[in-house]
Amino acid sequence: MKTYLDEIIRWHLDEKITADLNENEILRISSSTSPSKSFSSAIISQENISVIAEIKKKSPSLGYINKEVLVGRQALRYKRGGAACISVLTDGNFFDGKNEDLLTVRSTVDLPILRKDFVVRRSDVFESKVIGADAILLIVAALSDSDLKEFISLAKELNMEALVEIHDLNELDRAIDAQAEIIGVNQRDLYTFEVDRSRALKLAEQIPNTLVKVAESGIKDRSDIIELESAGYDAVLIGELLMKSEDCEAELRNLMVR
């Protein structure tokens, strides 16, 4: 049976590469410059659980969430609302994102930025560096063990971090074997796009405390965040709720109020 994830990964693998990326030159520049803004440090430096606020215009299951969003303005509102980091969807075919969205956020705010996309090739990692990402998303379900390990290592060489996304214990074991340092538990099943809001809680105790823990998807209100914080999560990634809000800055503040 064809699934959302199968379709998305196939499209990305078939996508034509047009950017002229000189890997050696990018590595040379990265090694001679100061590190990117630390995604993990921004998360764990917060006194309480952090929020990674996401800019997501559309999803395959919901269609458009906020088609007319002004990306730079949304990023400023997220910063004023207290977000620790910003996640930017750059997938164009399924999420109506683009690299220019991340570049706009990069030029607008000084928060660490996660490039939220489907990294399936080395060139995707290099491209993420070129457009200004501080961290990349690596989905265990979409990668072989060798690619996962290689992309985590390559991101480090480029002074970026990797949020390694899992959905079950098997994927957690694979992420740990690949030397992941930030684990994201996505409560949305990428095959059906249905949300299981208990998934992050079930997996929390299985994630070593030496790793940064992020809960993704299905977070609806402050009570969800309190529960996830109590379970040991360092951050929550929230997109749909904030993108639908008429005042995302106030929404963020309400989510974070103690």
What digits encode the pLDDT tens for the residues 140-165? Answer: 999 999 999 999 999 999 999 999 99
The catalytic site residues sit at: 54, 56, 116, 165, 186, 216-217
Question: What is the 8-class DSSP label of residue 4?
Answer: H
How far apart (Å, rounded) are the C-alpha atoms in residues 137 and 118? 7
Radius of gyration from C-alpha coordinates of the chain: 17
Question: What is the 8-class DSSP label of residue 114?
Answer: E
Nearest to 2 by CA among 138, 140, 192, 196: 192
Q: Is the pLDDT of residue 2 over 70?
A: no
**The architecture CATH gives domain 4-10+38-256:** Alpha-Beta Barrel (3.20)
Residue 34 — very low, low, confident or very high, per pLDDT cuts 50/70/90? low
**CB neighbour burial string for 160-199, b if at least 16 within 10 angstroms, e if fewer:** bbbbbbbbeeebbebbbebebbbbbbbbbbbeeeebbbeb
- Provide the token pair at 250: 């106030």
pLDDT at position 16 is 55
pLDDT digits (tens, 9 = 90+) for 57-95: 998 878 899 989 999 999 999 999 999 999 999 998 889
pLDDT at position 92 is 85
How far apart (Å, rounded) are the C-alpha atoms in residues 30 and 26? 6
